[in-house]
């Protein structure tokens, strides 16, 4: 299974940037990074931060 967390930042309701798929792979990474984002991109200055956890599953198939 491949899983990652994407953080999106909007400024005044418009997309500002998002993290790359390779950036945040674990819950521990997310918890430390989101603290920094909240400081650097405060709501009081028009920023909105959202996060989504994405997962992809694969199933091995028998070759016939």
pLDDT tens for residues 42-51? 999 999 999 9
Task: Report if residue 12 sits inside a domain.
Answer: yes
Domain extent, residue 10, equals 2-49
Give the pLDDT band of residue 2 (cuts 50, 70, 90).
confident
Length of the chain: 64
Domain count along the chain? 1
Instruction: Summarize pLDDT for 32-41 with one digit per residue, the tens.
Output: 999 999 999 9
Contacts of 14 (CB under 8 A, 6+ apart): none
Task: Report if residue 15 sits inside a domain.
Answer: yes
pTM to 2 decimals? 0.81
Task: Report if residue 59 sits inside a domain.
Answer: no
Task: Report if residue 44 sits inside a domain.
Answer: yes
């Amino acid at each position: 299974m491949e899983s990652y967390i994407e953080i999106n930042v909007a400024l005044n309701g418009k997309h500002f940037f998002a993290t790359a798929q390779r950036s945040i792979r674990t819950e521990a990474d997310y918890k430390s990074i989101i603290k920094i984002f909240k400081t650097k991109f405060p709501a009081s200055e028009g920023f909105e931060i959202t996060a989504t956890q994405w997962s992809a599953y694969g199933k091995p198939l028998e070759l016939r």
